[in-house]
A and B are shown apart, each in its own frame.
Chain A
Amino acid sequence: MDIYLLEAIINGILLGGVLALLALGLNLIFGVIDVVWIAYADIVMCGMYLLFWLYVGLDWPLPLACLAAIGFVALLGVLVHLLIIEPILGSAPINQLLATGGLLFFLQSFATLLFGTEFRNIGVRLPIIELGDIYISYARLLAFAIALIGAVALYFFLKRTFIGTAIRAIAQDRDIVGLMGVDQRRIYLVTSAIGGALAGLAACLLSLQYDVHPFIGNTFGPLIFMICVLGGLGDMIGGFIAAFVISQIISIGGYYSNTELSYVLAFTFFIVLMFVRPRGILVR
């Protein structure tokens, strides 16, 4: 096989890890609260800026700055739920989607206001690994590994803890769970915090590979929604698989043509699949 194609496939798998992490967070929020956070990728952007500011501006050590960024984005998740979602929890789901769309505008322009439109990089250069003739970026490998660990940790949290069980239960039947003595509001807040923390973790991983700028959310955001819907909104495993399918399309498509066309291909694939399997790839 062509060595460059192999490299493209491997890079696709590595990209899929971070996308899967983001899709997991969004999927969790969708499955439990039944809300699409259209500004999810922009919350990631906030985390990337905080990390940049703490690490480059205030000279914090990197691990500490990462932890702070994760905590901050988790808090942001809680705030989004309290301030935006909760007041309109009862209205049509599309209103909630649009309200977070307002948040998207706000975050993008507020970041422009604070930081300007320049591209910024935290300047951490990780080595490149050579495997025979294939070059793999260490940053991507690390991101992939941590994303995978995060996903597994989330899986065990949902399966093994009481609150995790309650979260899964509420996704299945929101009315009955209240009768079982579960505080719905508390579950929603915990879910938003976890969703935020996953976004924060993704922000740290993305900062190693990409420059941050106020509109970076527009590059990832649409992709993450596609992945969630493809996997079946609320279906974690489906979303996980979809993340790798999409990242392969982008990566291999990029190898044969150019980046934009590979995205066009991914979105077209999404639209077609929506019509073939509207409830997600795993549902028969």
Chain B
Amino acid sequence: MNVLRHATLAVGLGLLVALPFVTPPYFMHLLIQILLWGFIYTAWSMMGRFGFVSLGHGAFMGVGAYVPALLWNYYDVTPWIGIPLGVVLSVLLALIIGYPCFRLKVIGHYFALVTLALSQVVMLSVVAARNVTGGSLGFTPKAAGHSWYALQFPEKSYFYGISLVLWLGGLVIWWVIDRGIGREALDAISEDEEAAAAIGINVMREKLRVTVISAALTALGGAILGQYLMYLNPETVSGIAVSLQIVFAAIVGGMYTMLGPTVGALLTISLNEGLRVGFATNFIGAANTIYGILLILCIIFMPRGIVGVLERLRVRRQPPKAE
């Protein structure tokens, strides 16, 4: 069994690495987006699976994407410095919001609404500072051709490699959290905070840690997405729409499993592209109409998501272990 698993893993990885040599650029573009969004969705579900439903990840993504781009355009600072700076700022933002929230026990839909306000603050600030950020018209980083210094590559294979590494890194972090002792603590906290505190769990530390990790990875994902697309728009990297998009893709895919959020990304992006190609522009909104219905059904009938359901089916087929 274990050998089989390792073999599948090796073959899967081999296929993913080999893909850029055989795929046309259009599919490459889709794959990069799936990997990057999959990474961001995975980052979100690190919090979401423990019941901290944040609608503020658009804020972290926005800060992560805009800071390196602005520094690059106005001060010629390389993204190699700009991206870490953006990530640090996002983490600070997460701490500023997270600490009082956790201290005052702002949970459930109150937490969701406070974080929603945060993502609106970032989005509207970007729009308000239109002299610097271009406002709703968006922002284009200065092009530098093929350059490691500027982290810009016209050939898609480079970004494919970067996204693949990022995505794998995200999965590893997810796995480490899943296997670590902190996970038991977080599970206990999501069941009952007072009881968790009573048995000696440092509720604040556990919650802040997972929040900081989640925010940092989301900011990183946003930054790389911005570098790849070479175009930032406040509506597409921050604000309520992106925050909800992140939450829903993670839920549809299944936020309790490692590959769930990635499956969510795969599903939503291919649905979008399929309908776009199939119906062209006279059918604007079709993808999201179907997506919306899918979401409602998903939350009502399978809150554990697609991968969650598949996993449960597999477990059920196996005979129960003898005591």
Contact = CB atoms under 8 A, between A and B. Distances in A.
Contacts of A36: 109, 112-113
B116 A222 contact: yes
A271 B288 CA distance: 30
Interface string A90-117: 0111110111011111111111110011
Interface string A244-279: 000000000000011011011001101100110010
Contact of B284 (A94, A102, A117, A274): A117
Given A36-B113, A98-B53, A267-B121, A105 B128 contact: no
Given A258-B128, A264-B128, A274 B106 contact: yes
B305 to A, nearest CB: 12
A84 B292 CA distance: 12
A106 B110 contact: no
A102 B240 contact: no
Contacts, number: 141
Given A261-B128, A270-B117, A271-B114, A221 B300 contact: no
Given A98-B251, A112-B285, A278 B110 contact: yes
Contacts of B251: 98
Contacts of B120: 222, 263, 267
A226 interface: yes
A98 B285 contact: no
A181 interface: no
B25 interface: no
B292 A268 contact: no
Contacts of A94: 51, 53, 108-109, 112
Contact of B110 (A98, A99, A107, A229): A229
A252 to B, nearest CB: 16
A221 B120 CA distance: 11
Interface stretch (B1-9, B65-73, B83-91, B241-249): B241-249
Contact of B248 (A102, A116, A226): A102
A209 B295 CA distance: 33
A107 B292 contact: yes
B214 to A, nearest CB: 16
A260 B110 contact: no
Interface of B: prevailing SS: helix
A221 B117 CA distance: 11
A64 interface: no
A107 B251 CA distance: 19
A115 to B, nearest CB: 10
Contacts of A84: 296, 300
Contacts of B101: 275
A213 B244 CA distance: 20
Contacts of A144: none
A108 B288 contact: yes
Given A264-B128, A271-B121, A226 B285 contact: no
A264 B125 contact: yes
B128 A104 contact: no
B95 interface: no
29 contacts: A36-B112, A36-B113, A88-B299, A92-B108, A94-B51, A94-B109, A94-B112, A95-B299, A97-B109, A99-B299, A101-B295, A102-B248, A102-B292, A105-B295, A109-B286, A109-B287, A110-B285, A113-B285, A113-B286, A214-B285, A226-B117, A260-B125, A261-B125, A267-B121, A267-B124, A271-B114, A274-B106, A275-B101, A275-B106
Contacts of A270: 114, 117
A109 B109 contact: no
Interface in A36-89: 36, 84, 87-88
Contacts of B117: 222, 226, 267-268, 270-271
Given A108-B288, A218-B240, A271 B53 contact: no
Contacts of B116: 222, 225
Interface string A142-176: 00000000000000000000000000000000000
A105 B288 contact: yes
A88 B300 contact: yes
Contacts of A218: 239-241
Contacts of A257: 128
A101 B247 contact: yes
Given A108-B288, A109-B288, 12 more contacts: A92-B108, A94-B112, A98-B295, A103-B292, A106-B288, A106-B289, A106-B295, A109-B285, A109-B287, A225-B113, A229-B110, A260-B125
A116 B284 contact: yes
A73 to B, nearest CB: 18
Of A87, A94, A218, the most chain B CB neighbours within 10 A belong to A94
| Leading 10 A-B pairs by shortest Cβ distance | A106-B292, A102-B295, A109-B288, A112-B285, A105-B292, A260-B128, A109-B285, A102-B296, A113-B285, A275-B100
A109 B289 contact: yes
Contact of B108 (A93, A101, A271): A93
